[in-house]
């Protein structure tokens, strides 16, 4: 009888230990899943939702004066800028929290759309050097940077930012798809995005 009781106790203890070990292993797996998932989402990083083409004419001139400002020399150029601007979301700026018990990712903050890149192609017309004020390689680099700034200043009035804001939900659904790949859920029920009118996503 005592041997029988000892055997039952031994079996129960073994089952208890196995259950505890499985629980610990499962918790570690869930925590590991959440960490990998959050890293995976942030590695998507910059997500382009809208792109726009620009064609602008830019007048450049630079005047240098010598000899107590008695003599001046001007270099100038007419620059045609063809550019492509990409607007979207930097997903490294989102705020995510993992609820490991419910296998749920909570999206607390979603960034505003921003200019992610500007690609420019410059063509020079009516380019002329001054007598002691000639175009150098550094001038062309500077012109390229000025062209990008010129296009950047045009983007707010182009409607690209507003168009990207309308794609915010599509971006969130992309994140939701990533989350669902390992059987988790994305909770963005309390998220609000700033548009012309603050909109709550459901």
pLDDT in the model for residue 124? 83
In tens, the pLDDT along 118-132 reads 999 988 887 777 667
**Residue 149 · residue 54 · CB < 8 Å:** no
Mapped to the 3 state alphabet, what secondary structure does the chain carry?
CHHHHHHHHHHHHHHHHHHHHHHHHHHHHHHHHHHHHHHHHHHHCEEEEEEEEEEEEEEEEEEEEECCCCEEEEEEEEEEEEEEEEEEEEHHHCEEEEECCCCEEEEEECCCCEEEEEEEEEEEEEEECCCCCCCCHHHHHHHHHHHHHHHHHHHHHCCHHHHHHHCHHHHHHHHHHHHHCCCCEEECCCCEECCCCCEECC
Q: Are 132 and 89 in contact (CB under 8 A)?
A: no
Please write the tens of the pLDDT for every residue from 9-59.
444 445 444 454 455 444 444 455 556 666 666 555 677 788 999 998 888
Lowest mean pLDDT among 57-66, 138-147, 168-177: 57-66
- pTM exceeds 0.85: no
Can you give the residue ranges of every domain in the chain?
Answer: 2-200
What is the rounded average pLDDT of the residues 154-163?
Answer: 90
The residue written with tokens 């059987």 in the block is 183
Tens of pLDDT along 99-125?
A: 888 888 888 888 889 999 999 998 888
Rounded Cα distance between 97 and 38, Å, is 8
Residue 92 phi/psi, 5-degree rounding, is -70, -10
């Amino acid at each position: 009888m005592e041997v029988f009781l000892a055997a039952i106790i031994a079996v129960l203890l073994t089952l208890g230990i196995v259950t505890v070990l499985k629980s610990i292993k499962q918790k570690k797996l869930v925590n590991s899943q959440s960490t990998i998932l959050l890293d995976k989402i942030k590695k998507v990083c910059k997500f382009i939702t809208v792109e726009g083409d620009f064609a602008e004419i830019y007048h450049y001139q630079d005047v240098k004066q010598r000899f107590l400002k008695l003599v001046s020399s001007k270099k100038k150029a007419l620059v045609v800028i063809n550019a492509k601007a990409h607007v979207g979301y930097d997903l490294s700026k989102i705020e995510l929290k993992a609820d490991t018990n419910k296998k749920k990712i909570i999206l607390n903050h979603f960034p505003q759309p921003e200019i992610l890149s500007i690609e420019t192609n410059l063509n020079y017309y009516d380019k002329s050097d001054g007598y002691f004020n000639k175009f150098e390689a550094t001038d062309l680099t500077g012109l390229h940077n000025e062209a990008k700034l010129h296009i950047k200043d045009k983007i707010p009035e182009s409607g690209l930012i507003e168009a990207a804001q309308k794609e915010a939900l599509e971006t969130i659904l992309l994140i939701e798809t990533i989350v669902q790949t390992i059987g988790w859920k994305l909770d963005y029920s309390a998220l609000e995005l700033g548009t012309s009118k603050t909109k709550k996503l459901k």
